[in-house]
Chain A
Amino acid sequence: MSVTTLTINGRLVSAAEGASILDVAREHDIHIPTLCHLDGLSEHGACRLCLVEVAGSSKLQAACMTKAVEGMVVTTDSERLRTYRRQIVELLLAERNHVCSVCVANRACELQDLAVSMGLHHVRYEPQAPQLAMDASHPRWIIDHNRCVLCTRCVRVCDEIEGAHTWDVMGRGRQTLVISDMNEPWGDSASCTSCGKCVRVCPTGALFEKGAVATNKDPHFVTYLRMAREQKLWNR
C-alpha cells in the first residue's frame, strides 16, 4: 500500500492512500468536529462541521469526503472555522425544539456535546418552534422529529448495514423529514426488522427507547460490525 504525506496544522503526517482528511487527522489525534459522519457508514457530507481549509483552494472542503492528497496543506482549526462551526450548531438548535432539559438524551447527545465544546451558551437566531408529531407506533422505540438534525445516520445504517431501508427522507428545505417506508407509521412498517441499529446511531434524542433514558446509544458498534463482516471475526 502506498503512503501519502501531507501537512495538517503545520504537522507533517502520513496517510494510507485513499484515506480522507478526517481519517488521517483522527489517526494523528487531530480533532475535527463531525455530526453526519459515522465510522462504518458511507459519507453524507451534509453537516458541514468538518469543513477545513486546504491551501490553494478558495473553497472549504469537507474533511470526511475529501481524499488526502500528496503534499496537501490542511488547516483544521482557525478563527474563521470556529465561527462557522459554532454558527452551524446554533442554527440547528434554533431549527427544531431542542429543549435539552426535558430531552431523553440530555447529557448523552452529540449535538449538546458539540455546543459545549464550542462554548455555545445561547442561540441568537429565532427559534422556529415547529410543531412536529412524534411516532410512537413501534413497540420498542419512538421517533421524535423535534430532536432530529437530519444527519441521515439512521437512513444509512438501516440501508447499508441492516439492508432493510426502512428509513428515508421526504420533502425539502425546512420541511425535510425522516420517514419510515412510504411515510407510514413505524409500527406498521413491513420492512423494519426491529434491529434497533437506527436508535443506536442517532446522535440526538430523536430516536429513543420507550421508558429508557438514552444510555443505549453506542454508534461505534457499526465499525465493529463492518470489520467483523469483512474479516469474518465475530468475537468483540
Chain B
Amino acid sequence: MSLLDMDERLLDLASLIDLVYSPIMDVKEFPEGVDITLVEGAVANEDNARMLRLVRERTDVLVAFGDCAVAGNVTALRNPIANPLPVLQRSYGPDPSRMPGLHTPDAEVPPLVTKVENLRALVRVDYYLPGCPPSADLIFFVLSELVAGRTLNLQSRATLG
C-alpha cells in the first residue's frame, strides 16, 4: 500500500522499470535474470524459505523491504512461543480439529518453521529498507537510486518501526 502512496511518482518509475513478478500479477513462476527484487515479509513457513532462496538465485539486487523482512518484526513476535504447535493452539485453541491443514500441513498449507527469521538469516541481502511500512518517499528514493544504478546509501533517512 505504501508503494501506491508514491502517487504520480509511480508513473515516472513505471517508464523506467519492467515489472516481472508480483503477488498481484498472474505470474506463476519467479522469472530468471531479475535486476531488482523487493522482498517483503519474514520467513514464517517452509514455502517462504524455498521462495526466498529461489528469488536470491535469480536476482541481482535483493532488497529487504519493510521491518518484517529486515528484522522479523511482528511476524517474529511468536518466536518466544517457539515450536509451531503451541503457536497454533494460541491462535486456534487447543482442539486440533479446528486447525485443519495447519496441524498436519500439506501442499496447500506449508508447515510453519520453528523460528521466524528475517531474510538475512537465510540469504545474502543487498539492501535493507526498514519501516513499518517504509514511507513512500523512502521507497521512491530507493527505487530511483537503484534504477539509476547507484549504490544505495540510506544513512539516517530510514528508521525501524
Query: Are A116 and B73 within 8 A (Cβ)?
Result: no
Known contacts A101-B73, A101-B74, A101-B132; is A121 also within 8 Å of B161 by CB? no
Number of interface residues of B (CB under 8 A): 25
Shortest C-beta distance, A30 to chain B (Å), equals: 18
The DSSP consensus for interface residues of chain A is: loop
Other-chain residue from A97, A103, A118, A129 in contact with B161 (beta carbon distance below 8 A) = A103
Q: Mark B131-161, 1 if CB is under 8 A from A, else 0.
A: 0100000000000000000000011101111
Residues on A with C-beta less than 8 A from B77 are 97, 99, 102
Q: Quick one: given A99-B73, A100-B67, A129-B76, are A119 and B159 in contact (CB under 8 Å)?
A: no
Q: How far is the CA of A2 from the CA of B61 in the complex (A)?
A: 59
Contact of A127 among B79, B132, B154, B161 (CB under 8 A): B79
A81 within 8 A of B: no
Q: Mark A94-124, 1 if CB is under 8 A from B, else 0.
A: 0001111111001100001001111101111
Interface contact A116-B120, CB-CB below 8 Å: no
Chain A residues with CB under 8 A of B120:
122, 124
B70 within 8 A of A: yes
- Whether A185 sits at the interface, judged by CB under 8 Å, is no
List B contacts of A101 (CB < 8 A).
67, 73-74, 132, 160-161
Q: Is B41 an interface residue (CB 8 A)?
A: no
Residues B80 and A121 in contact, CB atoms below 8 Å apart = no
B residues adjacent to A (C-beta < 8 A): 64, 67, 70-74, 76-77, 79-80, 118, 120, 125, 128-130, 132, 154-156, 158-161
